[in-house]
Amino acid sequence: DTAVSQTPKYLVTQMGNDKSIKCEQNLGHDTMYWYKQDSKKFLKIMFSYNNKELIINETVPNRFSPKSPDKAHLNLHINSLELGDSAVYFCASSQVVTVQETQYFGPGTRLLVL
């Protein structure tokens, strides 16, 4: 059983297009995240949702809009795609408790903007 799943695995698209990436977790966690990993393998948080509420919003262009229809899902919609958006996008989830916040990552979505 896949704990954190993402679709699609690969996404190749033209500049200016709008695309969405979907994420689902079956771990019963209350917090979900989107990360971007660039070509230098640097993993940087973009957004975090706790119980469907946005709690972390790093300095991400407003072309990126996350949506959490329920605790188990966090989708990422990207408008007007740019070349610099090419990266691997990871979804993750965790159960926020006092000290331990182990995050479980999905397999990643490889986005290539041409």
Partner 1 sequence: SQKIEQNSEALNIQEGKTATLTCNYTNYSPAYLQWYRQDPGRGPVFLLLIRENEKEKRKERLKVTFDTTLKQSLFHITASQPADSATYLCALGNTGTASKLTFGTGTRLQVTL
Interface contacts to partner 1, rule CB under 8 A: 4, 31, 33, 40-45, 48, 50, 55-56, 90, 92, 96, 98-108
Of 74, 34, 35, the residue nearest 51 (C-alpha): 74
Minimum CB–partner distance for residue 21 and partner 1 (Å): 13
Give the span between the Cα atoms of 65 and 75, in whole angstroms.
8
Q: Compare residues 62 and 98 and give the one whose CB is closer to partner 1.
A: 98
Q: Compare residues 14 and 59 and give the one whose CB is closer to partner 1.
A: 59
Q: Compare residues 43 and 114 and give the one whose CB is closer to partner 1.
A: 43
